[in-house]
Amino acid sequence: MEMAQLSIQVHCRKCSRFAFVDKSDYDHLDKMTCPFPGCRHTWCKNCQQEITSNGPKHTCDGSSELKHLVKQMGWKHCPRCKTPVQKTGGCNHMTCVTPGCNSHFCYRCGKQIARSPIPFVVSSAIAAHYRQCSM
């Protein structure tokens, strides 16, 4: 009974072992580190996600990790809705498929080219943009 009042049992998903940690220490921590030698796995106490020492600052919603990945991979953002975009091939004309956006933009320079559902308007804007794109 006394052990339960002073400590909390935690489970490490990496080594699959259980350990008791001091309750007052646990209450003041944002992250947990497995106390067993040879493991030392670290995870967020709130969301249970792994935290790496050489990775980006942890956020439970993943926003910091996503920003780090976008920068690391060299991805661009839609100039209208800011959704990350990865170019995997083809030309530099991008069409954002985020619901409600439908922005056409240049992957190379990042400028919005058009925002129209009319194919003729879009193709004319694309041709005009690539005649003068500075990149």
Q: Residues 6 or more apart from 22 whose CB is under 8 A from it?
A: 6, 7
Which of 60, 81, 91, 133 is labelled catalytic? 91
91 is catalytic: yes
Would you say 53 and 42 are in contact if contact means Cβ atoms under 8 Å apart?
yes
Instruction: Look at the alpha carbons of 81, 83, 84, 88 in this order and tell me if their dihedral is positive or negative.
Output: negative
Rounded to 5 degrees, φ, ψ at 38 are 85, -10
Q: Residues 6 or more apart from 34 whose CB is under 8 A from it?
A: 12, 14, 15, 17, 19, 40, 41, 42
State which H helix or E strand residue 66 sits in: helix 63-73
- Six-digit token pair at 22? 């001091």
- Which positions are annotated as active-site residues? 91
